[in-house]
Chains A and B, each alone.
Chain A
């Protein structure tokens, strides 16, 4: 047996022994909740085993997860869109709700999209559906982007600057926004005053990237703490003051 195979078998053995003890000592209840905790612990440890190297346990958990997540997405499509917005309104049509008949149009367009899977004779129909989604998405996004991302961001940037700490912060934000925009303005050569502004823009970007990086690490560590807390408290049922 290779070293990896020995580690693999030893891991499974230790995991089995721990669970036999946990179920035997009633730390894990012999019901669906207890079995769920056992399964969740197995999946968690299998996925963490990737930190050693790619291995069958990781691939097992990863592929199971992909299948479950795909079915979950499909389920959400059905229960949050197709069922309430298509099936329910169209199946209960009466004289009061004849306006719902219009829903046949997007349903047809959706079915057109699925012709992408068929032969070339029909697959061109999917272009109509794609044109609808892309065109409408573009149209709806323009006024919203202008209102929410452009105007709503410009307004707080251009406030009166007063000789207070708040005013100083507003000045720093104004300088930051302008210099960052100068950095991304490639139509002018970045030399002289434009070069200086561009350099300051890079510093602001570096501060932002560093802050975002630190923030992301903290968010991921919070998840890690959550998973370790689950393994120690929910699975191994250890009374720790930390979690």
Chain B
């Protein structure tokens, strides 16, 4: 039983990991077809993982409603939104769930257009206020590094609006240069470091050194 619970997952991770690497380097139609098939499999299994996540979220709110914890009414609202949207998705503008999704009409599209999109955009736009207040605290130029950060942010912000050009005609070009040269250099440096780390972590997973994804227990 220990073999099934501990060793088999490690063997599977090693086997599919090696296949995932090898199919990329084999210039044969069979390898490419296998890569495509495996990508589809990956998408299907990952979709089930998403179902697991949604279940966890709904169970959390269901527990709150069941135990009538403080604010349980708001958790009930999560179910209202979820059930309504799910019914509309299943209805699929009269086509039913066993047909391709209708994406230009029907109650599902209405909910998406008038509930999800405005809420999404508003949630993200609220961050503008919080970022501004954080900037006030962060951008006090107490050290040379903080001063560089402050000047860089101001040039990029002012350079991207019409008033920037009115203040100094070359400001938009300076802002663009900052994005294209020093910003790119730092981003590239970070990306190289992150990529090396990602490759190392992936190799650790394939060779069974990193096994935290198996969870605890036997």
Residues 58-116 (chain B) with a chain A CB within 8 angstroms: 58, 71, 74-75, 77-86, 89, 97-98, 100-101, 108, 110-116
**Bound CA–CA A223/B185 (angstroms):** 28
Q: Determine which residue in B4, B12, B40, B55 has the highest number of CB atoms from chain A within 10 A of its CB, and name it.
A: B12
Q: Closest CB of chain A to B11's CB: distance in Å?
A: 8
- Flag the segment in A12-20, A21-29, A36-44 that touches B: A36-44
Cross-chain contact of A143 among B24, B83, B146 (Cβ < 8 A): B24
**Bound CA–CA A136/B205 (angstroms):** 10
The DSSP consensus for interface residues of chain B is helix
Q: Closest CB of chain B to A218's CB: distance in Å?
A: 5
**Bound CA–CA A209/B5 (angstroms):** 45
**What size tier do the contact residues of chain A reach?**
35 or more
The answer to whether B14 touches A135, judged by C-beta atoms less than 8 angstroms apart, is yes
The DSSP consensus for interface residues of chain A is helix
**Bound CA–CA A175/B189 (angstroms):** 10
Q: Closest CB of chain A to B162's CB: distance in Å?
A: 13
B215 at interface (Cβ–Cβ under 8 A)?
yes
B163 at interface (Cβ–Cβ under 8 A)?
no
Q: Closest CB of chain A to B24's CB: distance in Å?
A: 4
The answer to whether A67 touches B77, judged by C-beta atoms less than 8 angstroms apart, is yes
Residues 125-150 (chain A) with a chain B CB within 8 angstroms: 127-146, 149-150
**Bound CA–CA A63/B78 (angstroms):** 5
Q: Mark A54-89, 1 if CB is under 8 A from B, else 0.
A: 000001111111111111111101110111111100
**Bound CA–CA A105/B45 (angstroms):** 10
B29 at interface (Cβ–Cβ under 8 A)?
no
The answer to whether B202 touches A68, judged by C-beta atoms less than 8 angstroms apart, is no
Q: Mark B129-168, 1 if CB is under 8 A from A, else 0.
A: 1011001000000000110111111111100110000000
Residues of B near A50 (CB, < 8 A) are 126
Q: Closest CB of chain A to B140's CB: distance in Å?
A: 14
Q: Which residue of A lies closest to B37 (CB)?
A: A102
The answer to whether A128 touches B43, judged by C-beta atoms less than 8 angstroms apart, is no
Q: Closest CB of chain B to A205's CB: distance in Å?
A: 5
The answer to whether A140 touches B115, judged by C-beta atoms less than 8 angstroms apart, is no
The answer to whether B81 touches A150, judged by C-beta atoms less than 8 angstroms apart, is no
The answer to whether A217 touches B157, judged by C-beta atoms less than 8 angstroms apart, is yes
The answer to whether B47 touches A51, judged by C-beta atoms less than 8 angstroms apart, is no
Q: Closest CB of chain A to B105's CB: distance in Å?
A: 11
**Bound CA–CA A207/B150 (angstroms):** 9
Residues of A near B20 (CB, < 8 A) are 135-142
**Bound CA–CA A110/B44 (angstroms):** 7
**Bound CA–CA A36/B116 (angstroms):** 11
Known: A139-B202, A203-B148, A204-B189. A68 touches B81 (CB 8 A): yes
The answer to whether A129 touches B5, judged by C-beta atoms less than 8 angstroms apart, is no
Q: Mark A210-231, 1 if CB is under 8 A from B, else 0.
A: 1111111110110110110010
Residues of B near A184 (CB, < 8 A) are 189-190, 193
The answer to whether B81 touches A67, judged by C-beta atoms less than 8 angstroms apart, is yes
The answer to whether A141 touches B156, judged by C-beta atoms less than 8 angstroms apart, is no
Cross-chain contact of A82 among B47, B149, B215 (Cβ < 8 A): B47
**Bound CA–CA A84/B47 (angstroms):** 12
The answer to whether B122 touches A175, judged by C-beta atoms less than 8 angstroms apart, is no
Residues of B near A179 (CB, < 8 A) are 189
Q: Closest CB of chain B to A207's CB: distance in Å?
A: 4
Cross-chain contact of A224 among B74, B125, B206 (Cβ < 8 A): B125
Residues of A near B214 (CB, < 8 A) are 127, 130-131
Q: Closest CB of chain B to A199's CB: distance in Å?
A: 9
**Bound CA–CA A69/B113 (angstroms):** 12
**Bound CA–CA A210/B156 (angstroms):** 8
**Given contact pairs A71-B82, A139-B20, a sample of 4 additional A-B residue pairs in the complex whose CB atoms are under 8 Å apart:** A114-B52, A117-B55, A145-B195, A181-B189
Q: Which residues of A contact B (CB under 8 A)?
A: 32, 36-37, 39-40, 43-44, 47-48, 50-51, 59-75, 77-79, 81-87, 102-103, 105-107, 109-111, 113-114, 116-117, 120, 124, 127-146, 149-150, 153-154, 157, 169, 172-181, 183-184, 201-218, 220-221, 223-224, 226-227, 230
Q: Which 9 A-B pairs have the closest CB atoms?
A: A139-B20, A176-B185, A67-B81, A180-B189, A210-B152, A135-B13, A110-B48, A71-B85, A208-B186
